[in-house]
Structure 1
Amino acid sequence: MKLYIKDLNAAYNQPGRRKFITSLGKTIGASMLITTPVITTAGDLFRQNKTITVKQIIDLFLQEVPGAPFDKTVDTLKAGSLDTKVTGIVTTMFATVEVIRKAVDVGANFIIAHEPTYYNHQDDTAWLEQDAVYRYKADLLKKHNIAVWRNHDYIHSHKPDGVQTGLVAALGWQKYYNPDIRNRFVIPAISLQALIAHSKEKLGIQTVRYIGDLSQSCARILLLPGASGGTRHIEEIMKEKPDVIICGEAQEWETVEYVRDARAKGDKLALVLLGHAVSEEPGAEWLVAWLKPKVPGIKITHVPSRNPLSFI
């Protein structure tokens, strides 16, 4: 297999989060029907050896990704060794210092993160070698023998996309999902204010940023979590003609300005920015449900990295 090495608990006590976990379990259960042979092989592997390595777990996921392993990918090992025998797994959006400390607390030595560990897309660390913050994090991982693997390109290439599956389940929009038009949802008409309230409650978000008339009716929704980029946002708006685009984050000089000008032109187009981490966090929780039947006996914990920004 070719690889390129290179209060938190309170979130679970929210009513919306409990409903999401139940809903996600049902969603994952249905998708497992196509992966039973892999589950059996993985389970047998664990039961026979009583141990499983970081590489074996990565390989399990890559078996279900069309075209994997990719020649070019950011999904590399950021810390630790592929040969590390896994004692526990933590899934998260960002392998923050807080998340690393939590992994230590729960006895996990393998963190699967969706986004970069070292502050840039490629996780290039040459420019950070003398930086005290980088050294603190890298030394913390080394001290506790923790391996970190980024699962970004692969989870998005999984069929179905794990991040989208988790987010749709969290929002309770499974019945509105059309695999042929993956990011457009047509729901019963709802006001923008009610739509924002629904998203905040289901995803456990305290505040969002938005553009639009809160009394505006919304039925056609364009859902693009994470940071798809202004070009994609605008191209999808042009194609789908949504009432509202909901995304994780956007460059303020790209999508935000486009929506402002569209409204000045007379279009009834709204924009809701959920926040990058919280918009894709359900994908990291989806991975917990995917992993559990494949590595029986290994404790798997989702630790939300949360939105680090506060508003006053």
Structure 2
Amino acid sequence: MKDQFSPEKSKELQVQEVILHLTQDITLPENTVDQLITGSADQVITGIVVTFMPTQHVIEQAIQQGANLIIAHESPFYNHHSATDWLATDPVYTYKRNMIDQAGIAIFRCHDIIHRYNPDGITEGLIFDLGWNTYVSQRTSETDVVTFPEETTVRAVAQQLKEHLGLEYVRIAGGPETVCRRAAVLVGFRGNGHVTIPLVQNKHIDLIIAGEGFEWETPEYIRDAMQQGTSKALIMVGHAESEAPGMKLLADRLAAAFPAVEVSFVQERPVFEVI
């Protein structure tokens, strides 16, 4: 079987070649959201930008760099399935879409694909950025369980997250001085109760580290557990903040796989500010 990230060279690399590279040995669901949203499969690539969210800023950066392929984890058009009929007369959408089309930018959605790599490419990127590779004691399709070398506190883990991911803040439920040894790391929107609560129950997890989730599920479970005298905690990092490292790792691998074109990762600043 061909290595998932084996080097390939092409003087005139086309969009479809990169898509084939990303999807090799991957079986996607019938309702996958991964698709070429703009541009054409046969256009020659002048540069590749990899990002979490293809925002206005990211598109402007791609144009400035002379890149005409953006590989993004999320949709550019404000909904999971990239539908645009409901936005046809919206000025924000039309401005953005016209800029994309006029610049001849192809946008490929790499959402389901990277989550189906083994290990999950998004979780792997987050663990790599945190320097926790050697701490992974168990891995499933939805989470990495990490066992810290020694007991630590939620406050200390939160500080690590902020430092390594360049964050101004994270949100904590359960108390910053809660002692933890085993944590479950869940990226993106995997912080909901049906995923997290069984981990606490069955995997003897002290701390849940998640991107985001419904606030009336896992946070409330943690609150009740603490009220009952059970020391558990939750750190919500943010959806983009938890998943961007995985796309950064993908950019590094694509740069190695396609050395004939410039590949760069464009980081967007956090969408929320604390005031």
Which TM-score band applies after superposition, normalised by the shorter structure? over 0.9
Superposed counterparts of 1:95-114, under 5 Å: 95-114=54-73
Q: 1:179 to 1:86 in 2, by over 3 A?
A: farther
**1:138 and 2:80 aligned:** no
Where 1:250 maps in the other structure, the secondary structure is coil
Looking at structure 2, the residues matched to 62 and 264 of structure 1 have their Cα atoms a distance apart, in angstroms, of: 47
Where 1:245 maps in the other structure, the secondary structure is strand
Alignment-mate amino acid for residue 76 of structure 1: Q
CA deviations over 1:130-182 (Å, ceiling 9, x no partner): 11111111111101000111101000101222111111111111111235455
Q: 1:220 to 1:91 in 2, by over 3 A?
A: same
- Percent same amino acid among aligned pairs? 37
Pairwise CA distance, 1:230: 3.3
Looking at structure 1, the residues matched to 92 and 110 of structure 2 have their Cα atoms a distance apart, in angstroms, of: 23
Q: How many residues align?
A: 271
Where 1:310 maps in the other structure, the secondary structure is coil
Looking at structure 1, the residues matched to 57 and 25 of structure 2 have their Cα atoms a distance apart, in angstroms, of: 31
Q: Which residue of 1 aligns with 2:6?
A: 39
CA deviations over 1:233-286 (Å, ceiling 9, x no partner): 223332223111010112112222222122222221111111111111111111
Q: Which residue of 1 aligns with 2:47?
A: 88
Alignment-mate amino acid for residue 76 of structure 2: T
Looking at structure 1, the residues matched to 138 and 23 of structure 2 have their Cα atoms a distance apart, in angstroms, of: 22
Where 2:205 maps in the other structure, the secondary structure is coil
CA-atom RMSD in angstroms: 1.7
Q: 1:131 to 1:275 in 2, by over 3 A?
A: same
TM-score, normalization: structure 1?
0.82
Structure 1: runs of 5+ lacking an equivalent: 1-33
**1:226 and 2:185 aligned:** no
Looking at structure 1, the residues matched to 156 and 58 of structure 2 have their Cα atoms a distance apart, in angstroms, of: 33
Superposed counterparts of 1:16-165, under 5 Å: 36=3, 39-40=6-7, 42-43=8-9, 46=10, 50-65=11-26, 67=27, 69-165=28-124
Looking at structure 2, the residues matched to 292 and 98 of structure 1 have their Cα atoms a distance apart, in angstroms, of: 22
The answer to whether the 8 A contact 1:278-1:306 is kept is: no
CA deviations over 1:41-84 (Å, ceiling 9, x no partner): x22xx1xxx1111111010111143x2x5433111112111112
CA deviations over 1:75-108 (Å, ceiling 9, x no partner): 1112111112110001111000000001111111
**1:304 and 2:267 aligned:** yes
Looking at structure 2, the residues matched to 133 and 255 of structure 1 have their Cα atoms a distance apart, in angstroms, of: 34
- Which structure has greater helix proportion? 1
Structure 2: runs of 5+ lacking an equivalent: none
Alignment-mate amino acid for residue 109 of structure 1: N
Greater CA drift, 236-245 or 125-134: 236-245
Alignment-mate amino acid for residue 156 of structure 1: H
